[in-house]
Amino acid sequence: MSIRIHHVTKRYSRYPALNDVSVEIETGELIALLGPSGSGKTTLLRVIAGLEFPESQGTVLFQERDVTRLSAYKRKAGFVFQAYALFAHMNVFENIAFALRVLPRKKRPPESTIRARVRELLAAVQLDGLEKRLPTQLSGGQRQRVAFARALAIEPEVLLLDEPFGALDAKVRKDLRRWLREFHERIRLTTIFVTHDQDEAFEVADRAVIIDKGVIQQSGTPEEVRNNPANEFVRDFLDL
Amino acid sequence: MAGASQFPIPQRPDTGRRATAESPVAKVLLVGITLVFFSLFLLLPLFVVFQEAFSKGLGVFLKTFRDPYAQDAIRLTLLVAAITVPLNTVFGLAAAWSLTRFRFSGRSFLITLIDLPLWVSPVIGGLIYILVFGSKGWLGAWLSDHGIRIIFAVPGIVLATVFVTFPFVARGLIPLMQAQGISEEEAALTLGANGWQIFWRVTVPKIKWGLLYGVILCNARAMGEFGAVSVVSGHIRGKTNTMPLHIEILYNEYHFAAAFAVASLLALLALVTLFLKTYSEWRAAEQLKQL
């Protein structure tokens, strides 16, 4: 699914977190939103998810559909939170099954289908056998993957990841980068992730969108950006 | 090298205790004072209540509760609690929700205002309702024209109790909800849950022990409240007497054993409350640790 963002501005009190931002993301792309902390990259991700709404003039289009004012719960955008936000009182199975259990009665699959679907997702993130564990009984990397499986349960057409590698140690981070890239190659789901680490952005993403002070500074493939930094900020931020 | 020998690090005398720990004498003294205070002002009165209640034997104790006025008082106390506690639970949830989920000006003032009933004397809590609803109050004439009785009647007792027990649920929830944040709710939203589903499946399980803690405290106060209720009740036996007021009347009429018998029932309630409170507090703390 393609995503088109046109002239989005988002203010918290007076200070703009996003200032007239326009981005186009094509179906099946893997995009990194790259920028220093406070640059507005997470706000942009939350606007795409429907967790924040832009000021009056902006629009967000999923494919041809205008979703600008649509609440997150109707958007079907899979979101993986920075600190995972797993449901602490539910085990792994119930965390992943949540999206299926809250479906309207008419669309809700029978219990056997829910079981099969959760098993499938657990296998996809290589966590078979951990259904009964509570989030507190998992390592950081395992929690990350549960959050991932939970977001995939809604069969999203876009996957949004907020600092997906942030809270993990270096070794797990490396594995996860490779895993995300392979996962993307396999299912070609439009994916957008937020990071402040240029190595991460350039190693994993097809294209990086570099943001600072709520404004998009440059957007392009790693080579394009490296060979042709658009301005002083990009040059400085990438240490070129 | 020279520096090290010129300024040797002074060795702390090894007394086997931390620098911030008190001396053994102070320790014994502090623990002693606490224990004496505890037994004199908490355990002894509790013991006396039960001892006096049974001082004339089990027969008198049981007879107290066969008195229709005593039964009416117990019934009224239960009724008041049954109205007040659900009201303040809903209010407390709504207040905690809006005060922790939204940022608006005047927010911290509102949090302070919720505590107001804890600072003012309960008597004032009763008097304000007399000022508003009493026969010489703002709405007094209008109410008596329409044949509505609030003061010296059950509605007044409920109002005064609602006022006094106002803060407990909200106060139990606000710090808990502040610490937990809203990311789980946001996650549920992105997974397609609507507001109702998020509240019951995510928020309530997260806050249930804190909520129970507040409800228990609210209930204990609702059943035990004396001052505010005394002002608006009018002490009409069989009609507007709650358990605490009934105890006072029995005591003033020299029915000591009976007074203490009813009091022992309230004290028992307090003990059960204490147990439930400690348990829910402990579970709420466990729930916070899971973050």
For residue B37, CA distances in Å to B26, B51, B89, B264 come to 16, 20, 34, 22
Picking from A77, A103, A134, the nearest residue to B190 by CB comes out as: A77
Q: Which two tokens stand for residue B241?
A: 């007497």
Overall average pLDDT of the B161-166 stretch: 92
Residue A135 with chain B: CB contacts under 8 Å: 290
Q: Which residues contact B266 (CB under 8 A, 6 or more apart)?
A: B223, B224, B243, B244, B247
Q: Flag whether pLDDT at B148 surpasses 90.
A: no
pLDDT of residue B17: 62
Cβ–Cβ below 8 Å for A150 and B201: no
Model pLDDT for residues A38-71, shown as the tens digit of each residue: 899 999 999 999 999 998 889 999 998 999 999 8
When the pLDDT of each residue in chain A is averaged and rounded to a whole number, the result is 91
> How large is the C-alpha radius of gyration of chain B?
26
The minimum CA-CA distance between B279 and chain A, rounded to whole Å, is: 18
Q: For residue A136, what is the DSSP state?
A: G
Q: What are phi and psi of A65, to 5 degrees?
A: -85, 130
Check CB contact of B204 with chain A, cutoff 8 Å: no
pLDDT of residue B78: 92
Check CB contact of A73 with chain B, cutoff 8 Å: yes
Picking from A75, A78, A85, the nearest residue to B183 by CB comes out as: A85
Residue A50 with chain B: CB contacts under 8 Å: 190
- DSSP helix/strand/coil, A43: helix
For residue A47, CA distances in Å to A21, A67, B241 come to 11, 10, 59
Range with the poorest average pLDDT among A116-120, B144-148, B246-250, B286-290: B286-290
Check CB contact of A83 with chain B, cutoff 8 Å: yes
CA distance A85 to A49: 15
When the pLDDT of each residue in chain B is averaged and rounded to a whole number, the result is 86
Amino acid at site A208: A
Residue of B nearest to A160 (CA): B190
Under a CB-based contact definition with an 8 Å cutoff, are residues A196 and A37 in contact? yes
pLDDT of residue B8: 58
Model pLDDT for residues B237-262, shown as the tens digit of each residue: 888 889 999 999 999 999 888 899 99
Q: pLDDT band at B14, cuts 50/70/90?
A: low
Check CB contact of A103 with chain B, cutoff 8 Å: yes
Q: pLDDT band at B16, cuts 50/70/90?
A: low
CA distance B254 to B257: 9
Q: In chain B, helix, strand, coil percent, each to 5?
A: 75, 0, 25
H or E element that contains A212: strand A207-212
Q: Flag whether pLDDT at B273 surpasses 60.
A: yes
pLDDT of residue A67: 92
Q: Which of B177, B183, B191, B287 to mutate to test the interface with A (most CBs of A within 10 A)?
A: B191
Q: Which two tokens stand for residue A127?
A: 């966590």
Overall average pLDDT of the B137-147 stretch: 84
Distance of CA B73 to the CA centre of its chain: 20
pLDDT of residue B24: 84
Check CB contact of B75 with chain A, cutoff 8 Å: no
Cβ–Cβ below 8 Å for B191 and A85: no
Check CB contact of A49 with chain B, cutoff 8 Å: yes
Amino acid at site A111: E
Overall average pLDDT of the B132-142 stretch: 84
Task: Give the number of beta-carbon pairs within 8 Å between A and B.
Answer: 73
Helices B204-224, B68-101: inter-axial angle, 10-degree rounding: 140
Range with the poorest average pLDDT among B3-12, B44-53, B236-245, B258-267: B3-12
Check CB contact of A170 with chain B, cutoff 8 Å: no
Q: Which residues contact B114 (CB under 8 A, 6 or more apart)?
A: B95, B166, B167, B170, B171
Q: pLDDT band at B12, cuts 50/70/90?
A: low
Q: Which residues of chain A have pLDDT under 50?
A: none
Picking from B183, B191, B206, the nearest residue to A154 by CB comes out as: B191
Check CB contact of A79 with chain B, cutoff 8 Å: yes
Overall average pLDDT of the B53-80 stretch: 89
- What is the ipTM, given to two decimal places? 0.91
CA-wise closest residue to B53 among B258, B280, B279: B258
Q: pLDDT band at B2, cuts 50/70/90?
A: very low
Cβ–Cβ below 8 Å for A51 and B190: yes
Cβ–Cβ below 8 Å for A89 and B190: no
Q: Flag whether pLDDT at B64 surpasses 90.
A: no
% of chain B with per-residue pLDDT over 90: 33
Residue A136 with chain B: CB contacts under 8 Å: 290
